Amino acid sequence: MITRNLWTSKGLVNGARGIVKKIWYKPGADPKVNLPAVVFVQVDGYSESGIHTPGWPAVDPSWAPVVPVTARWESKTGKSLARSQLPLTLAWAITIHKSQGLTLERVVIELGLKEFSLGLSFVAMSRVKRLSGLAFKTAFAITRLQKPSSQMQEAMQRDVQRRENLPFQFNDYGVNLDLYQFL
């Protein structure tokens, strides 16, 4: 799986996920030295309609063409520099935070030793469409999925009260704020 900023008929999609389907090199190019001329990535919802692309044989319209991008700049000493790369990122996994809002067919979840933040385990498990698409990398205690104990709830309530009673301290970090209007 890869992630990529792809241009689709719906516009630029930041972090679109897809699968590399075909890699083409220019005739006579050495794959050990040269970048591919184009990499085709299968992306759900992508269609070349509305985008001018040549008719590639044996290429599905749902495969987005990704070509190398060259960045050019000058060093501090005035030397011209350039770097060419394929704007693709390999993605074997994503964080629970990155998965929020996604609906996935299959997931393998590593919950870790403890809950980093209350509810993250639920968020991870709720991303999958069907129970048959859910797998766990390592075992965990069932208490991880149960309602917090009354002791834990009391501790959370005490923490909320403590935070509400903290004094507000403003630090201007030495900036003159006379020109600003505070509402």
User: What tens digit of pLDDT does each residue of 63-81 get?
Assistant: 888 889 899 999 999 999 9
18, 107 contact by CB (below 8 A):
no
Query: Is pLDDT larger for residue 42 or for residue 5?
Result: 42
Burial class (CB in 10 A: 0-12, 13-18, 19+), 153: exposed
C-alpha 133: how far from chain center: 20
pTM > 0.95: yes or no: no
- The residue ranges of every structural domain in the chain are 8-85, 96-179
- CB count, 10 Å around CB of 128? 19
pLDDT at 179 over 90: no
Strands 38-42 and 11-24: antiparallel
